[in-house]
Amino acid sequence: MRARQTTWLRSAAGIAWKDLAIEWHSREIVYTMGFLATLVVLVFSFALVAGQDSKLGPGTIAGILWVAVLFSGTVALSRTFDREREGEAIRSLLLSPVPRSAIYAGKLAATSCIMFFVELVVTPLVGVFFSAPVAEHAAWLALQLLLGTIGFAAAGVVFSAALLRSRSRDALLGALLFPVVVPVLMAGARGTTLLLDAEVPDLDPAVFWTRFLGAVDVIFVAVGVWAFEPVAVGE
């Protein structure tokens, strides 16, 4: 039993490590995703603030940050699975004597790592552009972003795997994923709003939404592990 757990962990870590190593050499996802996230933030600032004297409220700023994270996250998802399609690498991965749940966990870990890295760059940028106090509760904000990212990727990995052989995968991924991850977006945006709002006296409500994100993660990862196995087998 113990030995099986160790093998499972090692396989999952191996798959995550492989994805991160490929990314470390090409840096393709981090650059394109980071650029897209920055552009989303800029598009919002051109639409909402540029040329006006108004300052955005904490709710709007938190919303912009989370929309940027989720939109750019789809790039990370579709690219990590595109790499498996090239040279039919997915076939070798599925044929290898590794539990499907370990493949799922490895993919989830790698995607979350890449997304979180980009968030570490984009969040200070949001703080600078909108003069938002992102550093005030930096640890809580990082925790919310991490939990939100895991929830988003937990659903996203299943859909990207299922869309691997579909021709319209780029169009469909966003269309299927965004309705599903709305709880992540709502809880994340609400929680971050409370962190950025100087008028909120204590952290209690923000802690509630952080816990809610944690609960969403547990549910999404459980459903994800469960659904990944039959979905990844293919037609």
Partner 1 sequence: MGESPLPEYHPPVTSSQNNAPFAVLLAVSAVGFLAVPFLIVLAPIEPTMGIIQKIFYFHAPIAWLLLLSTGVCAAGSIAYLFAGSDGGDRLAHASAELGVLFGACTLVTGPMWARVAWGVFWTWDARLTSSLLLWLMLVAYLLARRYGGPGAKKLSAALALFAAADAPLFYVSVNVWRTIHPKTTVVPSLGWPMARVFLSCLLLFTIFFGVLLMLRLRLEKARVALAELEIAHEDAREARS
| Residues 99-113 as b or e (16 or more Cβ within 10 Å = b) | ebbbbbbbbbbbbbb
Residue whose CB is less far from partner 1, 23 or 84:
84
Two structure tokens written together for 18: 């492989």
According to the binding rule CB under 8 A, does residue 223 interact with partner 1?
A: yes
Binding partner 1 (rule: CB under 8 A), the pick from 166, 170, 203, 211 is 166
Tell me: does residue 211 bind partner 1 (CB under 8 A): no
Q: Is 176 in the site for partner 1 (CB under 8 A)?
A: yes
Q: Which stretch binds partner 1 (CB under 8 A): 17-25, 96-104, 114-122, 217-225?
A: 217-225
Task: Work out how close the CB of 67 gets to partner 1 at its nearest, in angstroms, rounded to a whole number.
Answer: 16
CA angle 90/75/177 to nearest 5° reads: 85
List of E strands, the chain: none
Contacts of 12 (CB under 8 A, 6+ apart): 102, 103, 105, 106, 109
In the complex, least distance from residue 171 CB atom to partner 1, rounded to whole angstroms: 8
Whose Cβ is closer to partner 1: residue 150's or residue 162's?
162
Residue 181 CA, distance from chain mean position: 10
**Residue of the chain from 45, 183, 200, 207 that contacts partner 1 (CB under 8 A):** 183
User: Within 139-158, which residues bind partner 1 (CB under 8 A)?
Assistant: 155, 158
Comparing C-alpha atoms, which of 153, 117, 144 is closest to residue 213? 144
User: For residues 12 and 106, is the Cβ–Cβ distance under 8 A?
Assistant: yes
Contacting positions for partner 1 (CB under 8 A)? 155, 158-159, 162-169, 171-172, 175-176, 179-180, 182-183, 186, 208, 212, 215-216, 219-220, 223, 226-227, 230-231, 233-235
